[in-house]
Amino acid sequence: MIDSKAKIEIIKKVSEEIKSEVKSESEVKSESEVKSESEVKSESEVKSESEIKAESKDLKEEKESESLTLFRSKNKTESENKFESENPDQLVIKILCESDDSICWELEKIINEQISSTKNKDLNIIIETLGANISIGLSICNHLYIYKKLNPDNKIKIYVPKYAHSCGTFIALMADELYLNDYALLSPVDVQLNLEIKTFSSNDLIEYSEHEDRKTMDINQNTLILSILARKYDSLGKMIFNKFIFNNCEKYTPKTRKRIINKFLNTEYPHIVVFDTEDIESVGISIEGTVPLAIMDIYKESISSKP
């Protein structure tokens, strides 16, 4: 476990690294000025060409990944059609992101359209994602919350075959009935904010802003600005829990709600940590069991399908 002073030292070290990198860049620039104009121009052209190729490759892979994710979510498999025909009061929604992909805006539109166009059915949501922009998670949670208000007799069942991290955890916790396989994992939901080339948890930035030695520490000023934003995002996280998740699941007592927020939002752990079924149940969240075979058939067929 990393204590407050250790976290402050990490932030301080990163700030010093950033300053050192800026200094190094200026030294390199000074050295390059000694070179002839033709040499500098030649190196610049080679660098630009390689960067363009790398960016083009990354963009292509990103589009292919996003395209596959959207296809899996929109395309109904044979097992899915069979499940819905045998259970006309059930709808399957799939949030199955490819590889290390996150929920994109286009997928968010598809999911929300499926939710808002449905009435008087149980929602069966299969989710696998590393996360999403907090705005996307907020939007999907809001749609699920409204659906529950409009269809109080129907349930939101959420299935996690492998993992639902970050904003995916927010969505998973909206469930009336939550199913996780034995090795399935959730994660913290603290918002991640960028400081120059590094990423910090909103929790760490808030700790920094409240630290007694802050005024005497030589820290990049952007850190203070981000710590202000961190407070706002922390409030947003609490709002998602209190308005959507806890209102949607009235079974949680005040004591349980506090434990859940401390475990997932105001966590003492870094964002990369994962929580297994034992961790999840330890704070009072009920897990109905493993993902049923009929849902697993839909999941397996979906992730193996391609356009």
Q: What is the pLDDT of residues 239-290, one digit of tens each?
A: 888 888 887 667 788 899 999 999 998 888 888 899 999 999 999 999 999 9
Ranking 65-69, 96-100, 211-215, 259-263 by mean pLDDT, the lowest is: 211-215
Confidence of residue 198 (pLDDT cuts 50, 70, 90): low
87-109 average pLDDT score: 86
Percent of the chain beyond pLDDT 70?
64
Q: What is the pLDDT of residue 178?
A: 97
Higher pLDDT, 190 or 172: 172
Q: What is the pLDDT of residue 214?
A: 53
Neighbours of 188 (CB within 10 A): 25
Ranking 26-40, 98-112, 242-256 by mean pLDDT, the lowest is: 26-40
222-230 average pLDDT score: 65
| Residue 255, H or E segment | helix 254-264
Mean pLDDT for all residues in the chain: 79
Ranking 56-65, 186-195, 256-265 by mean pLDDT, the lowest is: 56-65
Confidence of residue 196 (pLDDT cuts 50, 70, 90): low
Q: Give the rounded distance of the alpha carbon of 138 from its chain centre.
A: 11
Model pTM score: 0.73
Residue 226 half-sphere exposure, CB side, CA atoms within 13 Å? 22
Higher pLDDT, 16 or 71: 71
Higher pLDDT, 165 or 19: 165
Higher pLDDT, 303 or 35: 303
Q: What is the pLDDT of residue 18?
A: 53
Q: What is the pLDDT of residue 157?
A: 97
Residue ranges of alpha helices (H) inside 152-200 are: 167-172
76-80 average pLDDT score: 95
Neighbours of 22 (CB within 10 A): 12
Whole-angstrom distance, CA of residue 27 vs CA of residue 196:
20
Q: Give the rounded distance of the alpha carbon of 84 from its chain centre.
A: 29
The set of residues, in sequence order, having a beta carbon less than 8 Å from that of 138 and lying 6+ positions away, is 236, 240
Higher pLDDT, 246 or 83: 83
Higher pLDDT, 253 or 29: 253
Q: Please report, for residues 122, 124, 247, 299, the alpha-carbon distance to residue 90 in angstroms, rounded to integers and kept in the order given.
A: 5, 7, 23, 16
Is 140 within 8 Å of 109 (Cβ atoms)? Answer: no
**Residue 41 clears pLDDT 90, i.e. is over it:** no
Beta-strand pair 156-160/177-180: parallel
Which range scores top for mean pLDDT: 79-93, 178-192, 228-242, 265-279?
79-93
Higher pLDDT, 15 or 301: 301
Which range scores top for mean pLDDT: 42-56, 94-108, 190-204, 281-295?
281-295
Q: What is the pLDDT of residue 201?
A: 60
> Which of 61, 64, 65, 72 is CA-nearest to residue 96?
72
